[in-house]
A and B are shown apart, each in its own frame.
Chain A
Amino acid sequence: MNGRTWRYAAGAAVAVVVGAGVITAIAVGVATAAPHQAPLAARPAGTVVIGGKTYPHATLSIATYPDSMFGLRGAGGGAHPDWVSYSNDNLVVPANTAVTVTVRQYDSGGSLNNAYFGHVVGTVGGTEAVDGKTVRSVPADEVGHTFTLRAIATDAPPLYLNVPLPAVAGNAPNSVHIGYGDYPTPNIVTFTFLTKGPGTYQWNCEYPCGNSVAGFGGAMSTYGYMSGTLTVK
C-alpha cells in the first residue's frame, strides 16, 4: 500500500472510531439521564394466605407529598421544591410474592381526566383500604394521585395495577413535620398485589398533578417525581 492508501485507511478508521464514540456517549448519556433514587426494597413479612393459597409476604411503605421538601433533595427541596412527588421512584419487590403497599398520601387533589383511574384495578380482591376502610373506587373528583403500573412490553409478565389515592382536603391544617416540610394528616392507603416472575415495570400517576401542560408538565414530565420503576426480582 502506498502513502495515500494508508492515509485513506487511517481516515476511515478514525471516522469509525469517532462515530462509535459519539454513539456510545449518547447511549451512556441517555442511560444515566434518569438517575433513580437508591432502591427501596420490600421487607419480608412471613407468609399470607390468599384464596386458599399460601404466598410469601412482603411489605413496602411509600408516600406522596404536595412538594419535594421531605428531605430527599436536601434543605432547599432540590431544583423544584414546590413540585409534587412520590417518596421513592425505585421500588424493588420479590417475585411470586404477595406485596402489601402502604401509601401515606399528604396531598390535596381534584378531578381525574378519566374516571377509570378512580377504580382499583389489579390488587387482591380488586380493593384498597383507605384509613382502614375497604373500597373498590374513589370518587373521580377526589383523587390526589394514583399509583398506576404496567409491564413494559416483552420485558415482564403482564401486570396492571391502578390504585387511586384519595385527596386530603385542600384546607386541612398542617399537623405533621417531615424532613423540611409541614403536611396535613395523611390518607393512609394500603393494598396487596401478587407479583409474577422477574421483570421491570413502569408506574406513574394518572391524576393531572403537574403544574403545566394541562397538569402533565413539570412533576409529571420529569423523572423522579410522579413516576418510577418497580423491579421484580
Chain B
Amino acid sequence: MTLTDTPAPTPPSPEPPAARPIRWKEIVAVWLVLTAITVVGDLVVFPRVMPRSASTTMHLTIVTVVLFSVTAAPVGSLVYAGAVYALRHWRAGSGDEPPPEGPPYRKHNQLSIAWLSISAMLAVFLLVWGLGALAADNAVAQKATMTVDATGQQWLWTFHYPGTKVTTETPYLPVGRTVTFDVTSLDVTHSFWIVQMGAKIDANPGEVTTVSVTPTRIGDFDVRCAELCGLYHAFMTTQIHVVSASQYQSWLQTQELSA
C-alpha cells in the first residue's frame, strides 16, 4: 500500500425499500380483542382456580388478585398486540432483505406524556390499593377475641387452646369470630398456611409469629406447611373445622373433659 493509492470506490448502495406504514387500526383491534379475552378470563377463571374464600382475608386477597389482573389486562394486551403485529407484518421471508426500521419517535411529546401519566396512574393505583388492603388485613388482628397456639414440627401441626388443657391435631374454630394464631416451631422453619383462609406465616424455632383471621364459612379447611422442611413436608397437612359458636363450645368442653 502506498500513499498514492486511492480507496476503491464503494458500490452504490441499493435504494432501501420504503418503510411500510403502520396499520394502527389492526393493532387497536387486536389490543381490544386480547383485552376483552383477558378481562373475561380474569373475572371467570381466577375466582374458580383460587380456593373458595373462607375468611375476610381470603376474600380481600381474591378481590385484589382479580382487580390487579383486570387492571393489568390492557397493558399486557398492548404489548402482545404489538408483538402480534410485528410477527405478522415485519417478518423477513427466506432470502428477503429485512425491511427498514420506521422513523424514530423522537420528541413525540404527546406520546411521552400519555405513556408516563398512564403508567404513573396505574402504579399509584396499585400502591394505594395495596397499602389499603394491607392495612385492612392488619386491622383484623385488633378484632381478635381468641388465641390458638399453632406449633409446627417435623412433620405435624399441633394446636393448643391457651387457658385450657386442650391440645389437638385437628382444631375447631367458631365461625365469625376472629382468632389469632401464635405460631412457632420446635425444630426447623415451617410455614403455617390455612389455604382457604389466605393466612400464611412462617413458623420459626424460638420465635412466635402471629397471624389473625376471621373465618366466614362453616366447613373443613386445609392447613399445609408452606416451607420445605424435610422428608414428609408434603404430608404436613391437617384440617381446621369451622363450626357454629355452640358446636365449638361443646367441642371444647368434650376435649377439656377427655384431656
Contact = CB atoms under 8 A, between A and B. Distances in A.
> Do A and B interact?
yes
Interface of A: 4, 113-114, 116, 119, 121, 126, 148, 150, 152-153, 158, 160, 162, 202, 204, 206, 214, 216, 220-223, 227
Given A150-B238, A221-B231, 5 more contacts: A114-B158, A150-B156, A150-B169, A206-B153, A223-B231
A114 B155 CA distance: 12
A222 B167 CA distance: 29
Contacts of A216: 154, 187-188, 230
B158 A150 contact: no
> What's the dominant secondary structure at chain A's contact region?
mixed
Nearest to A113: B186
- Interface size class, chain B: 20 to 34
B190 interface: no
Interface of B: 94, 151, 153-156, 158, 167, 169-170, 186-188, 220, 222, 224, 230-232, 235, 237-239, 258
B153 A202 contact: no
B7 to A, nearest CB: 39
A89 B85 CA distance: 60
Nearest to B169: A160
Nearest to A216: B154
A116 B231 CA distance: 21
A153 B224 contact: yes
Contact of A150 (B167, B188, B237, B258): B237
Contacts of B169: 121, 150, 160, 162
A160 B231 contact: no
26 contacts: A113-B153, A114-B153, A114-B158, A114-B186, A116-B167, A119-B167, A150-B156, A150-B169, A150-B237, A150-B238, A152-B237, A153-B222, A153-B224, A153-B239, A158-B170, A158-B239, A160-B169, A202-B232, A202-B235, A204-B155, A204-B232, A206-B153, A206-B156, A216-B187, A221-B230, A223-B231
A152 B235 contact: yes
Which residue, of B153, B154, B167, has the highest number of chain A Cβ atoms within 10 A? B154
Nearest to A229: B235
A148 B231 CA distance: 15
Contacts of B232: 202, 204, 227
B30 to A, nearest CB: 25
Contacts of A152: 235, 237
Contacts of B222: 153
A227 B231 contact: yes
A206 B222 CA distance: 22
Nearest to B205: A214
Nearest to B258: A126
B147 to A, nearest CB: 18
Given A113-B186, A204-B232, A160 B167 contact: no
Contacts of A220: 154, 231
